[in-house]
């Protein structure tokens, strides 16, 4: 490739035409393969003498900085890297994993710099383990009707990581958030109260049910051990999923097993009935009536003399107002969307059998779930 005769080079600093200075050695720029053949562009970059920036290398429309890949090829690889693993993408187009990584980094950095955060009315926050040794990511999603996307990735599950999201978002955009969905982790509650006090904080329905199922399983396991030690018939043997699954999801054999189990006066049976009674709580629409039913259920559970269930009742009593916010929001927002996005995060990491560093994990997740804008090309090749 040669520059057009009489055409001035463009300064890469101020993006204005400037007088020529000299030419550098010939460079190779890798382009999109055609019919399996590798394509390279050969060009001698010019240096310009800019009045503002001094002597700098010119700006060319097909490449960016010191990248050896053209913009079109980086966008091409990045789009395929969203569908395949990075290793499979590199093998399919006869390139290297590092070049695929550079392509994804270019597209993600460009997208983060040009994305429009806009008015955000609802967010969800959760954590997910991304490596061995209790290494977690703090993930913040936008979950309103305008968009469902990943907004922020914080390293580790700390207060500082969550505060970094609000620092990135700014005070003005934070003040427009109306709903926040999270679990019961105290640092989350404190950060939302400090940084986003005007928002309606909705506690995670998924984690409430999960904690209740965990308490029921603790009751079952403890009673099963005690019956075995005392020499009684193992009535609770292989009964775990009969009492943890929803009735609609039980198999025929599990339904008969549960019916036989309910004939006995066991702590596990009483805890199961309390759990099933609590499911009616989610059927209410009025926050007032839901609150009355929650108070009634807590009172009944505290009288049950079942330790794990009483612990759950105390937790619900402490977070009563935040739980009732689910009804004040007219059931429009819950953690179901957040858990679905977390599954996509796990699929993205599992597709490549995990990533070794936080930076690569961050790039892959933003690329897959961030819905970032992409640079425009003069010609579409794919």
What is the per-residue pLDDT for 223? Answer: 93
Mean pLDDT of 306-322: 94
What is the per-residue pLDDT for 321? Answer: 93
Q: For residue range 155-204, list pLDDT tens digits in order.
A: 888 889 899 999 999 999 999 999 999 888 888 889 999 998 899 999 87
pLDDT at 379 over 80: no
| CA 193 to mean position of chain CA atoms | 22
What is the per-residue pLDDT for 66? Answer: 84
What's the rounded Cα separation, in Å, for the pair 273 and 277? 6
Q: For residue range 97-152, list pLDDT tens digits in order.
A: 999 999 999 999 999 999 998 889 999 999 998 888 788 999 999 998 878 999 99
| 173 touches 141 (CB < 8 A) | no
Largest CA distance in the chain: 99
What's the rounded Cα separation, in Å, for the pair 57 and 321? 61
- Mean of pLDDT over the chain: 90
Q: Please enumerate in sequence order all residues whose Cβ is within 8 A of that of 123, keeping only pairs 6 or more positions apart, or say none.
A: 140, 141, 142, 143, 151, 177, 179, 180, 181
Q: Number of C-alpha atoms within 13 angstroms, CB side, residue 26? A: 7
Mean pLDDT of 91-97: 92
What is the per-residue pLDDT for 135? Answer: 86
Mean pLDDT of 354-380: 89
Can you give the residue ranges of every domain in the chain?
A: 1-68, 122-204+334-369, 206-328
- Number of residues written out for the chain: 382
Mean pLDDT of 251-266: 91
Cα four-point dihedral sign 373, 377, 378, 382: negative
pLDDT at 381 over 80: no
Mean pLDDT of 37-62: 88
Mean pLDDT of 213-223: 94
pLDDT at 228 over 80: yes
Helix (H) or strand (E) holding 63: none
For domain 122-204+334-369, the CATH superfamily is Ribonuclease H-like superfamily/Ribonuclease H (3.30.420.10)
C-alpha closest to that of 378 among 10, 61, 46: 61
pLDDT at 218 over 80: yes
Mean pLDDT of 57-86: 90
What is the per-residue pLDDT for 5? Answer: 81
Mean pLDDT of 332-346: 87
Q: Please enumerate in sequence order all residues whose Cβ is within 8 A of that of 44, keeping only pairs 6 or more positions apart, or say none.
A: 23, 24, 25, 26, 27
What is the per-residue pLDDT for 303? Answer: 94
Tokens (6 digits) for 354: 């995990």
Cα four-point dihedral sign 73, 74, 77, 83: negative
């Amino acid at each position: 490739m040669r520059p057009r005769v009489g055409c001035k080079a463009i300064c890469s600093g101020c993006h204005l035409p400037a007088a020529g200075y000299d030419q550098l050695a010939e460079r190779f720029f890798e382009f999109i393969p055609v019919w399996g053949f590798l394509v390279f562009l050969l060009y001698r970059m010019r240096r310009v003498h800019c009045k503002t920036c001094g002597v700098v290398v010119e700006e060319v429309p097909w490449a960016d900085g010191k990248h050896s890949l053209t913009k079109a090829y980086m966008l091409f690889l990045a789009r395929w890297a969203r569908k395949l693993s990075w290793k499979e993408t590199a093998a399919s187009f006869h390139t290297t994993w590092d070049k695929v990584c550079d392509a994804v980094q270019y597209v993600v950095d460009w997208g983060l710099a040009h994305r429009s955060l806009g008015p955000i009315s609802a967010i969800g926050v959760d954590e997910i383990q991304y490596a061995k040794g209790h290494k977690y990511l703090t993930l913040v999603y936008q979950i309103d009707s305008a968009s469902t996307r990943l907004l922020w990735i914080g390293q580790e599950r700390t207060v500082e990581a969550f505060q970094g999201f609000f620092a990135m978002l700014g005070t003005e955009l934070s003040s427009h958030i109306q709903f926040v969905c999270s679990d019961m982790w105290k640092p989350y509650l404190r950060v939302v109260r400090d940084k986003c006090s005007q928002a309606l904080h909705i506690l995670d329905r998924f984690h409430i049910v999960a904690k209740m199922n965990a308490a029921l399983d603790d009751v079952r396991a403890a009673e099963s051990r005690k019956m075995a030690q005392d020499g009684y018939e193992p009535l609770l043997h292989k009964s775990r999923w009969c009492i943890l699954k929803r009735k609609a999801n039980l198999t025929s054999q599990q339904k008969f097993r549960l019916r036989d189990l309910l004939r006995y006066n066991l702590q596990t049976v009483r805890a199961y009935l309390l759990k099933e009674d609590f499911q009616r709580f989610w059927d209410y629409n009025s926050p007032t009536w839901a609150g009355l039913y929650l108070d009634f259920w807590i009172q009944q559970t505290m009288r049950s003399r079942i330790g794990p269930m009483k612990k759950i009742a105390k937790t619900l009593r402490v977070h009563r107002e935040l739980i009732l916010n689910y009804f004040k929001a007219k059931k429009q927002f819950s953690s179901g969307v957040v858990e679905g996005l977390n599954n996509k995060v796990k699929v993205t990491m599992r597709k490549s059998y995990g990533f070794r560093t936080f930076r690569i994990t961050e790039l892959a997740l933003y690329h897959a779930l961030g819905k970032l804008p992409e640079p425009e090309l003069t010609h579409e090749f794919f």
